[in-house]
Amino acid sequence: MSPSTGVRETQRRRTRRALLDAALSLLEERSLGSLGLREVTRAAGVAPTAFYRHFRDMGELGTALVEEALASLHTTVRDVLAATGDSERRGEAAVRLVAELVRTRPAHVRFLVRERHGGVAAVREAIADQLDVFAEETGAALAADPVSAGWAGQDVTMLSRLLVDHMFMTASAFLAATLRGEDWTAATRTALGQLRLIHLGRVHWPG
């Protein structure tokens, strides 16, 4: 790679990053569907034409934010699922994982929570696709666990999706606690209690 090519690539990455960061900042209190391309480029300090060198439209920018927030978590989630120990310890590890995501990427999490059922179809689908992968990974671990081994596939799927939904609900609870100026003690206690209830139901499930 020539020096000039390297400079152009560095600038390209900086511009893309600036667009993503500008969008995240503007999305603090708004939905993606209400956000205009020119607002994003103005906030990023680039010309509107520069946007199209990186994204086809606002939907593609949104899917990039989804990928950025969730794609890197799959390995960590698999590690949590594969961890030895009882269900309570795995539950604690899962809640810590969600807490760390909210702590380090609050704007991304806020965006995901708002846009999961938002008005931009491409982003809804991208979030759903990522959650489907998490559910499949969770389901594979559940099917191999003695407590739920031998369950019907539909029951394993139902439980895995319940656990993924719980992850989202817990993230929302942490965000809400922050907005109220509270620490996360109560939200953590509630999340762990809910996981214990889910586990009790799992132990006694007739599947």
- The DSSP symbol for 116 reads T
Structure tokens, 32? 């993606």
Amino acid identity, position 113: V
pLDDT of 3 above 70:
no
Asked if 66 and 123 touch (Cβ cutoff 8 Å), the reply is: yes
Q: How far apart are CA 59 and CA 37, in angstroms?
A: 10
The residue count of the chain comes to 207
pTM: 0.91
Q: What is the pLDDT of residues 99-135, one digit of tens each?
A: 999 999 999 999 999 999 999 999 999 999 999 999 9
Give me the pLDDT at residue 84, please.
65
Q: What is the pLDDT of residues 28-74, one digit of tens each?
A: 989 999 999 999 999 999 999 999 999 999 999 999 999 999 988 88
Give me the pLDDT at residue 87, please.
81
User: Which CATH architecture group holds 3-55?
Assistant: Orthogonal Bundle (1.10)
Give me the pLDDT at residue 103, please.
96
Q: How far apart are CA 129 and CA 125, in angstroms?
A: 6
Q: How far apart are CA 30 and CA 158, in angstroms?
A: 32
Amino acid identity, position 24: L
pLDDT confidence band for 1 (50 / 70 / 90): low
Q: What is the pLDDT of residues 151-190, one digit of tens each?
A: 999 999 999 999 999 999 999 999 999 999 999 999 999 9
pLDDT of 14 above 90:
yes
- Between the alpha carbon of residue 28 and those of residues 35, 59, 113, 116, the distances in Å are 11, 17, 12, 15
CA 25 to chain centre: 17
Among the residue ranges 76-90, 132-146, 179-193, the one predicted with the least confidence is: 76-90
Locate all alpha helices (DSSP H) within the chain, ordered by sequence. Answer: 3-26, 37-44, 48-51, 58-70, 74-82, 87-104, 106-115, 121-144, 153-179, 185-203
Q: How far apart are CA 191 and CA 166, in angstroms?
A: 8
Query: What is the secondary structure of 129-157 as a DSSP string?
Result: HHHHHHHHHHHHHHHHSTTTTT--HHHHH
Amino acid identity, position 171: A
Neighbours of 177 (CB within 10 A): 17
Mean pLDDT score, 127-154: 93
Neighbours of 59 (CB within 10 A): 18
Quickly tell me which residue has 């671990």 as its tokens: 141
Helical packing angle, 153-179 and 185-203, nearest 10°: 170
Q: Can you give the residue ranges of every domain in the chain?
A: 3-55, 67-203
What would the CATH number be for the domain defined by 67-203?
1.10.357.10
